[in-house]
Amino acid sequence: MASSGKLFIDAFWKNNPILIQVLGVCSTLAVTNLLANTLFMCFGLIFTTGLSNLTISALRNHIPDRIRMIVQVLIISIYVMIVDIVIKAVSPDIHRFIGPYVGLIITNCIVMGRAEAFASQNKPFTSFLDGIAMGMGYSMILVLIALVREPLGFGTILGYKLPGLELWWHQWTIMVMAPGAFFMLALFTWFARAKMAAPEGATK
Amino acid sequence: MEATATHGFAGLILIFVSAAFTDNVLLTRFLGMCSCLGVSKKVDTSIGLGAAVTFVTSVTTALNYLVYKFVLLPLDLDFLRFLTFIVIIAAFTQLVEMIIDRYSPSLYYALGIFLPLITVNCAILGISLFMVNKPYNFLEAFLFGAGGGFGWFLAITLIGGIREKINESMLPKGLEGPGITLIIIGIMSLAFIGFSGIIKV
């Protein structure tokens, strides 16, 4: 399938959920101060987008138009419940911190956005791929931001101390607090949009 | 001072103020960013959505509190809370939409476009989920919701005001729109950290 490859490239760069569509920003910012939290969140998100897209697309001809938002939210929250239980079982410590944010995957606009924009019009398998691709494009940015914030703020990566860093690096606390998240995301968006605007402007 | 140790009127006010300022949902908890980025282009629309969110948050947090305490916990159905909360929020929003449509068409036109946005506003679900982790009684839970909603209202209105001004200035191409808004929010969030010493809850 030629189009499925394109789907992934789009999700990673040209149509990236965070940088270009600016969806699902809430959890991006909240969980990226530690890489471990981020990885759990990404796992949950990819799982939810993929399967909820699949389900919604399979049911798309049976859902009455008027109540489709509610049905979509219900389908999504069932998958989020599964994710919540799994994370709780695997790592209660991490669950204590990201617990409320896992619940917020339900209202994460990427999941709803893709369900509404893609899954309600396309075939189940393509929608499933789209969900996975979007989830991965989202995760990529989350991991990148976490990779900047955790070393700068705590001097660690995945909880391991970076060698030699404590000799000259004073922990930059603001990086792991709220403002650091906003500034990092702003820089990423700036970079991506500036890069993207250049070639497009040339072809037009 | 522990949250459980604050009693009486002063304690209630503390909960409201801390939810609105020191624990601002938008600036320290990152909730409701999506609709904030989308809607905060103008002060008018910011105020409209902010008011709607404040109202819905106050009521749904109280409703969710009742359902959680008296239905989910006794029946040991804690894991169903996501599903229950979102259904309550969606149903309540739908109800408000219908009531406003029936009794005050002018208000409906003013708020109408914002109501569907509220169901997917993570601030509302988020406040309910944070409420679950706190040892509040009914009135405290209601004030926590109201304070959280008011904090969101305040933040989005301020951001709307700044964005109206900033639209008139020259910006680097890539920074227009979400980029510059995120930087504004970052600076405001720095400022709100200044509140954090005032109240310890």
Give me the interface pTM, i.e. the ipTM: 0.72
Inform me whether the pLDDT recorded for A198 exceeds 60. Answer: no
Is there a contact between A161 and A118 (Cβ–Cβ < 8 Å)? no
Among B80, B86, B183, select the one facing A186 at the smallest CB separation: B183
Q: Cβ–Cβ of B90/A183 closer than 8 Å? A: no
Q: Does A176 touch chain B if contact means CB atoms closer than 8 Å?
A: no
Write down the pLDDT at residue A200.
47
Inform me whether the pLDDT recorded for A49 exceeds 80. Answer: yes
> In angstroms, rounded to a whole number, what is the distance separating the alpha carbons of residues A119 and A72?
10
> In angstroms, rounded to a whole number, what is the distance separating the alpha carbons of residues A26 and B30?
5
> In angstroms, rounded to a whole number, what is the distance separating the alpha carbons of residues B50 and B43?
10
> In angstroms, rounded to a whole number, what is the distance separating the alpha carbons of residues B118 and B106?
19
Write down the pLDDT at residue A99.
75
The total of other beta-carbon atoms located within 10 Å of residue A184's CB is: 22
pLDDT digits (tens, 9 = 90+) for A93-130: 887 777 777 877 877 777 777 777 777 778 888 888 88
> In angstroms, rounded to a whole number, what is the distance separating the alpha carbons of residues B171 and B178?
12
Domain coordinates in residue numbering, chain B: 18-193
Write down the pLDDT at residue A159.
67
pLDDT digits (tens, 9 = 90+) for B92-117: 888 877 777 787 777 777 665 666 66
Q: Does A117 touch chain B if contact means CB atoms closer than 8 Å?
A: no
3 state SS of A156: strand
Q: B71-87 burial, b if ≥16 CB within 10 A, otherwise e?
A: ebeeeeeeebbbbbbbb
How many angstroms away from the CA of A13 is the closest CA of chain B?
Answer: 15
Average pLDDT over residues B63-73: 87
Q: Cβ–Cβ of B126/A26 closer than 8 Å? A: yes
The region of weakest confidence among A158-162, B35-39, B43-47, B136-140 is A158-162
A 14-33 → B contacts, CB under 8 A: 22-30
Q: Cβ–Cβ of A26/B122 closer than 8 Å? A: yes
Write down the pLDDT at residue A199.
52
How many angstroms away from the CA of B164 is the closest CA of chain A?
Answer: 19
Domain coordinates in residue numbering, chain A: 4-190
Q: A65-104 burial, b if ≥16 CB within 10 A, otherwise e?
A: eeebbbbbbebbbbbbbebbebbeeeeeebbebbbbbbbb
Among B28, B85, B175, select the one facing A178 at the smallest CB separation: B28
Inform me whether the pLDDT recorded for A44 exceeds 60. Answer: yes
Is there a contact between A110 and A24 (Cβ–Cβ < 8 Å)? yes
The pLDDT > 70 percentage for chain B reads 89
Output phi, psi for A156, to 5 deg.
Answer: -135, 160
Q: Cβ–Cβ of A25/B174 closer than 8 Å? A: no
Write down the pLDDT at residue B2.
44
Write down the pLDDT at residue B47.
82
